Amino acid sequence: MKRILVTGGAGFLGSHLCDRLIEQGHRVMCLDSLFTGNRKNVESLSKNPNFTFIKHDVVDPINVQQVDEIYNLACPASPVHYQFNPIHTMKTSVIGALNVLELAKKTGAKIFQASTSEVYGDPSVHPQPEDYWGNVNTIGIRSCYDEGKRAAETLFFDYQRTYKLKIKIVRIFNTYGPRMAADDGRVVSNFIVQALKGQDLTVYGDGSQTRSFCYADDLVEGFLRLMSSGDDVVGPINMGNPGEFTMIELAEKVLRLTGSKSKLINMPLPQDDPKQRRPDITKAKQLLGWEPTIALEQGLQRTIDYFKGVVA
Ligand code: NAD
Ligand code: UDP
C-alpha cells in the first residue's frame, strides 16, 4: 500500500484516478481547491478510510508529512476556466509545480506531472511527436495555460537534474468522459449537454479544426502504467487517442447518438485556437505497451448516458 497525493483529485480526470488508486488498495490524499472540481466527484470515496480530502490551493506550500507518489493534476483545463483568472492559472502551473516538487524533494516521493498537448500550441508538425518543440504564442489568451505548463515541464526536469528526483511527465491530448462538469466549456461536454437540452450546438469557426479525443478510462490506465514504469522512463510521453475528427464530425456523431433534433450554429473562432491536433503515441506504445481501447462513438455513448443523469 502506497501513500499517494493527487492534486486536482476532485476534478474530472483526478477523480477517476482516485477511484483506480483506491481500488488498488492505496491510501489516497485528494488535494483540491474546488475551483473547477466538485466534492460530488469523489463522494463515493469519502467513506473509505483510505481516502482523505484536503481543500487547498497548490499556489500555497503543501504540508503533507509522508507521501510515496504525487500526481500533479491541479489546473483548470478548459479554456473558459483557465482564461477566467489567467494570472492565477499561471501561478497554479508554475508555483504549484514548485510546491509539489519541493514536497517530493522533502519526502523522496516519485512525482508525475499532467502536462498537455497545448505545449505544441498551434502545431505546424502533424501528428505531434514528443520531440516537436511547438508553436506557442507567448502573449495570447491561451498562453497562461500553455506557457504555464511548459514552464512546469522545465521545473520538473531542472529538479530532476539538480536533486535527482524521480519524475514522470505525460502530455495529455483532449480527453473526455463522465464527470466533466456540465458547464466545463470544452467541446465534448458542450455538444452533449446542448444536444440533450435541445439547444443549438455551438460550432466555433467553420468547424473544420480537428482534435483527437481519448476516453478517460484509457488515459488513467496510461497514467498508472507510466507511474509504475522504470525510473529511466521520465517522458515527456504523449497520451491520447490518434483518431482525428473535425468539430463538425464530432457534432454529427453527438446528434446521431443522442437522437437530438438540435441544429449546428457557427460562433466566432476563439483567438489562437489550434487548427489541428493528433498525438503520435509511438513512445507510449513502445515504453508502456499502452494505447487507447475505447473508440470515440463508444466513449461518447457512455458520456451521453452519464449526462442524461445530470441534465434533467
Ligand atoms: P478539471 O478542471 O476537471 O480538473 C482540474 C482540477 O484541479 C479541479 O478539480 C480543480 O478544482 C483543481 N484545481 C485547479 N486549480 C487549482 C489550484 N490552484 N489548487 C488546487 N486545485 C486546483 O480538468 P481535467 O480535465 O480533469 O484536467 C486535469 C489535469 O489534466 C489538468 O492539469 C489539465 O491541465 C490536464 N490536462 C487535461 C486534458 C483533458 O483533455 N482533460 C488535456 C491536457 C491536460
Ligand atoms: N469548440 C466548439 N464548440 C464549443 C467548444 C469548443 O466548436 O462549444 C471547439 C474549439 O474552438 C476547439 C475545439 O472545439 O477548436 C476543442 O475545444 P476545447 O475547448 O474542448 O479544447 P482545446 O481547444 O483546448 O483543445
81 Cα–ligand 1 center, Å: 10
Predicted confidence (pLDDT) per residue in 142-188, tens digit: 999 999 999 999 999 999 999 999 999 999 999 999 999 999 999 99
Q: Does residue 273 belong to any structural domain of this protein?
A: no
* Other CB atoms within 10 A of residue 248 CB: 15
**Which residues sit with their C-beta closer than 6 Å to ligand 1?**
7-8, 10-14, 32-37, 57-59, 73-77, 92, 96, 114, 116, 172, 174-175
Per-residue cell: 23:
481500488
Residue 190 lies in a domain: no
Structure letter (DSSP) for residue 74 = -
Nearest to 201, CA basis, from 213, 217, 210, 189: 189
Flag whether 248 is in a domain.
no
Q: Which domain holds residue 94?
A: 3-176+214-241+278-293
b/e 283-305 (16+ beta carbons within 10 angstroms → b): bbeebbebebebebeebbebbbe
Q: Answer whether 229's CB lies under 8 Å from 287's CB.
A: yes
Distance in angstroms (rounded) separating the CA atoms of residues 272 and 90: 18
**Residue 40 has what pLDDT?**
96
Which ligand has its closest atom nearest to the C-alpha of 240? 1
**pLDDT of res. 189:** 98
Total domain count for the chain? 1
Ligand 1 pocket test, candidate residues 20, 36, 75, most atoms within 8 A of CB: 75
Q: So what's the pLDDT on residue 218?
A: 98
Single pTM value for the model: 0.98
Is residue 306 part of the annotated active site? The answer reads: no
Q: How far is CA 283 from CA 47, 122, 172, in A?
A: 39, 22, 13
Give the pLDDT score at 292. 98
Residue 271 is assigned to a structural domain of this protein: no
Ligand nearest the Cα of residue 15 is 1
CATH code at position 31: 3.40.50.720
Alpha carbon distances (Å) from 12 to 37, 54, 145, 150, 158: 7, 17, 17, 22, 29
Is residue 17 domain-resident? yes
pLDDT for residue 136: 97
Which stretches of the chain drop beneath a pLDDT of 50? none
Looking at residue 39, what is its pLDDT? Answer: 97
204 found inside a domain: no
Answer whether residue 43 is part of any domain: yes
